[in-house]
Structure 1
Amino acid sequence: MIYQIASAGIEPSSISFPFRKIFQKRKNFYFRMAEVRSIFPEHKIIQTSIGKVHYDYLVLAAGATTNFFGNKNVEEQAMPMKNVSEAMGLRNALLDNFERALTCADDCERQELLNVVIVGGGATGVEIAGALSEMKKFVLPKDYPDLPTSLMNVYLIEAGPRLLPAMSHESSAHVEQYLREMGVNVLLNKMVTDYTDHRVMLKDGSSIATRTFIWVSGIAAQPVGNLPAAHLGRGRRIIVDAFNQVKGLDGVFSIGDQCIMPEGDDNWKGGHPQLAQVAIQQGKLLAKNLVRLEKGKEMKPFSYRNLGTMATVGRNRAVAEFSKVKMAGFFAWFMWLIVHLRCILSVRNKMIVMLNWMWNYFSYSQSLRMIIYAKKAKEVREREERLASTHWGTDLLSEGSEDVRNTKA
Structure 2
Amino acid sequence: MKLIIIGGGFGGLRLARKLSNKAGFEITLLDKFNYHQFQPLFYQVATAGLDASNISFPLRKVFHNATNIRFRVAEVQQIISEQKIVVTNIGNFEYDALVIATGADTNFFGNQQLMDNALPMKSSVEALQLRYRLLENFESALLVKDAASQQRFMNIVIVGGGPTGVELSGAIADMKRFVLPKDYPELDFKKMKIYLVESSSKILGAMSEVSSMRSRKYLEKLGVTILTGNILKDYDGQNAVLQNGDIIATNMVIWAAGIKGNVPLGISQELIARGNRIKVDRHCRVQGFNDIYAIGDVAYMEEPAYPNGHPQVAPVAMQQADTIANNLKRIEMKSSGALLEEFVYNNQGSMATVGRNLAVVDMPKPKLSIGGFLAWMIWMGLHLMLILGVKNRFFVFCNWLYNYFTYDQSLRLIFNVKSERKK
Q: Which deviates further from its counterpart, 70-79 or 57-66?
A: 70-79
Could you list the per-position Cα deviations for residues 42-93 of structure 1 after superposition, in whole angstroms to 9, with x for gaps in the alignment?
1000111112211111110010001111111111211011111111010000
Unaligned stretches of 5+ residues in structure 2: 1-40
Secondary structure at 2:190 match in 1: helix
- Matching residue's letter, 2:265: G
Output aligned runs, 1:223-372, within 5 Å.
223-262=263-302, 265-297=303-335, 298-323=339-364, 324-372=367-415
* Counterpart AA for 2:316: V
Counterpart in the other structure of 1:405: none
State percent identity of aligned pairs: 45
Match of 2:236 among 196, 199, 202: 196
Q: In structure 2, give the amino acid aligned to 1:314.
A: G
Q: Distance in 2 between matches of 1:377 and 1:183?
A: 37
Number of the residue aligned with 1:36: 76
How far the C-alpha of 1:152 sits from its partner, in A, is 1.6
Per the TM alignment, residue 197 of structure 1 is displaced from its structure 2 partner at its CA by 5.1
In 1, the alpha carbon distance for the partners of 2:167 and 2:58 equals 26
CA gap 1:377/1:210 in 2 versus in 1, 3 angstroms: closer
Partner of 1:142: 182
1:107: Cα distance to partner?
2.5
Query: Structure 1: how far apart are the matches of 2:374 and 2:89?
Result: 48
Give the whole-Å Cα distance in 1 for the aligned partners of 2:89 and 2:343.
33
Paired with 2:224 and 2:129, the residues of 1 have a C-alpha distance of 22
Aligned residue identity for 1:274: Q
Distance 1:279 1:376 in 2: 40
Describe the SS at the equivalent of 2:385: helix
Structure 1 pair 377–358 and aligned structure 2 pair: CA distance change class (3 A): closer
Could you list the structure 1 runs, at least 4 aligned residues long, displaced by more than 6 angstroms after superposition.
none
Cα-to-partner distance string for 1:299-355 (whole Å, 9 max, x where unaligned): 211111011100010111110011101101111111000010000111111111111
Letter in 2 for 1:290: L
Structure 2 residue matching 1:98: 3-state secondary structure: helix
SS at match of 2:248: strand
SS at match of 1:79: coil
Paired with 2:419 and 2:178, the residues of 1 have a C-alpha distance of: 35
Contact in 2 for aligned 1:41/1:250 (Cα 8 Å): no
Taking the aligned partners of 1:208 and 1:343, their CA distance within structure 2 comes to 38
Q: Which has the higher helix share?
A: 1
Paired residue secondary structure (1:268): coil
TM normalised by structure 2 equals 0.87
Aligned runs of 1:122-201 on 2, under 5 Å?
122-196=162-236, 198-201=238-241
TM-score (norm 1): 0.89
TM-superposed deviation, 1:373: 3.3
Task: Name the SS for the 2:204 alignment partner.
Answer: coil
CA distance in 1, matches of 2:419, 2:308: 44
Alpha-carbon distance between aligned partners in 2 of 1:207 and 1:377, rounded to the nearest angstrom: 35
Matched, 1:23 2:68: no
Q: Distance in 2 between matches of 1:315 and 1:55?
A: 48
Amino acid at match of 2:392: N
